[in-house]
Structure 1
Amino acid sequence: MAEVDLTLIVTVHDETLVCGPTMRSADLAVAAARDAGYAVQAVVALDKATDETTAYFHQPAFDHWERRVMGEGDLGRVRNALVPEVDGRYIAFLDADDLFSENWLVEGIALLDAAGERGERAIAHPEVNMIFDGVRAVLHNVDQDSPLFTPYFLYLRNCYDSLCMAPREAHLEVPYVHRDIPNGLSFQDWQFAIETMSRGWKHVVAPDTIIFKRRRDYSLMVESKQRRSLVRSVPEMLIDRVRDLARGGGGRA
């Protein structure tokens, strides 16, 4: 069996018509990666999906995608459950109401391959995060090695969006924690960034790539902010360790 370079997982919950542009962008990016010679596995994860959403994704137009029915009800748990089951040496994610640029998968794979050749353990992110719909904003990501990066910023907010591309072993080594929004604990991607950095994973940015993040009137992100949720207390963020976090020296005792 030929090696699969990348598995792309689209997570689906209660989205319907907004998935059209999402899946179009995903298909274009997958086609570009395959044209570049990469083998790509494309998976739709229907996680506690509504009946309407399930029906939408069972249209013949999506028959070229593998469909996985999940009952986790949590982004982190879906990722943790699927990573051991899929085939790609790299894993990328997309939420069903977001989009990414056509070149993201190609550039992400090339970036991780180059890092691997240098003996580096890397996690890739798009360069630009454009937020639209309920909120309009543009965020620019920077490499962990950039002079503009400081681990102290992680006291205030996450540096990197949950949309990432990473080697399978990164997710196996650092599984996502589950959300506990009623008790004020959320932001799984924020904790993932902290914990992977402390274990020597370098967060890098693929130039000229974009993620388009839809900010709906109500979402888990909105609920988390309304409840003033926090990232869990982790030893990597202790005041005497955080300065070494980006060098992989902020690990657990």
Structure 2
Amino acid sequence: MPDAAPTVAAILTAHAEGVMAGLSFRSLLDAVAVARNEGLDVEVLVVLDNPTDATRDAFAEAAQHGATVAEVSYADQGKVRNHAVGLVSADLVAFLDGDDLWSENWLVDAHRMCAGSADGDRVIGHPELNWFFENQQNLYFLPDQTDPAFDPALLRIANPWDALCLAPRAAYVEHPFAARAVADGYAYEDWHWMLETYLAGYVHRVVPETIHFKRRREGSQYVQARARSVLTRPSELLDFAWWQERDRHL
């Protein structure tokens, strides 16, 4: 009889974060330890995309901590995440960028919400709070789709969530991240993924008392995209006609 698949895959992606990537990896391991103490079977994967030597060195001892390390050459965060999903077998997947941090309770509490929800395998969990640091210092409280005050029309003008969530692996398989194409006027792959999963019936929930610490640095992909005034890729949810049709059926 084959072994059962792990419960959760904790995936860290990195590129040129250097020493900071080591701190992010430690944060991931702390959250994994808490989850395992609660009985969860967690697989750990690190995917390095065209890494600098300093970033590669940060994971020189990753295998000693039970992590698998893979190296790719995409220069594209969305493609890296798609590749990573193909390397794991867990039913739930959580991503962490190589310069961000999780609160220690993230994996265990996000799993508890997603696995215990009435929506079953259609729930995507997000932290309650994003705490930005370095070149941007502010707090952002994420909305819960099931909150009566949440207006889905917000999705037409902004992305209230991001890819550092815990989601069913099937959501990534069914809706892979679009390729980054800033030169063609397209970016914000996270936003497009949120639009597509929302349309597909996935429910975006907030996990109470969890925090993601997110580094906002000069030259990040997000900062570059904003500077180029690019758009997210087309989606039905961005089409006003879709909302007119929806309203007619309410």
Same fold (TM over 0.5): yes
8 Å Cα contact 2:17/2:99 also seen in 1: yes
Separation in 1, partners of 2:120, 2:244: 23
Separation in 2, partners of 1:60, 1:191: 32
Cα deviation 1:24-56 (Å, max 9, x = unaligned): 211110000000000000111011111221122
Separation in 2, partners of 1:24, 1:60: 10
Other-structure match for 1:58: 60
Other-structure match for 1:38: 40
Separation in 1, partners of 2:149, 2:90: 32
Separation in 2, partners of 1:5, 1:61: 20
Separation in 2, partners of 1:201, 1:186: 22
8 Å Cα contact 1:123/1:164 also seen in 2: yes
Displacement of 1:63 in angstroms is 4.7
Separation in 2, partners of 1:240, 1:185: 22
Percent sequence identity is 36
2:229 pairs with 1:222: no
Moved more, 34-43 or 177-186: 177-186
Displacement of 1:120 in angstroms is 5.6
Q: Is the alpha carbon distance of 1:35 and 1:131 closer, same or farther for their aligned partners in structure 2, counting shifts above 3 Å?
A: same
Separation in 1, partners of 2:179, 2:62: 33
Other-structure match for 2:17: 15
Separation in 1, partners of 2:108, 2:26: 16
The one-letter code matched in structure 1 to 2:165 is C
8 Å Cα contact 1:121/1:202 also seen in 2: yes
Gaps of 5+ in 2: none
The secondary structure found in structure 1 opposite 2:48 is strand
Q: CA RMSD in A?
A: 1.8
Separation in 1, partners of 2:38, 2:175: 30
The one-letter code matched in structure 1 to 2:25 is M
Other-structure match for 1:207: 208
Displacement of 1:22 in angstroms is 1.2
Separation in 1, partners of 2:149, 2:185: 30
Instruction: State the 4+ residue runs in structure 1 displaced beyond 2 angstroms.
Output: 59-64, 117-120
The alignment of Structure 1 onto Structure 2 pairs a total of residues equal to: 245
Q: Is the alpha carbon distance of 1:226 and 1:197 closer, same or farther for their aligned partners in structure 2, counting shifts above 3 Å?
A: same
The one-letter code matched in structure 2 to 1:109 is H
Separation in 2, partners of 1:138, 1:222: 18
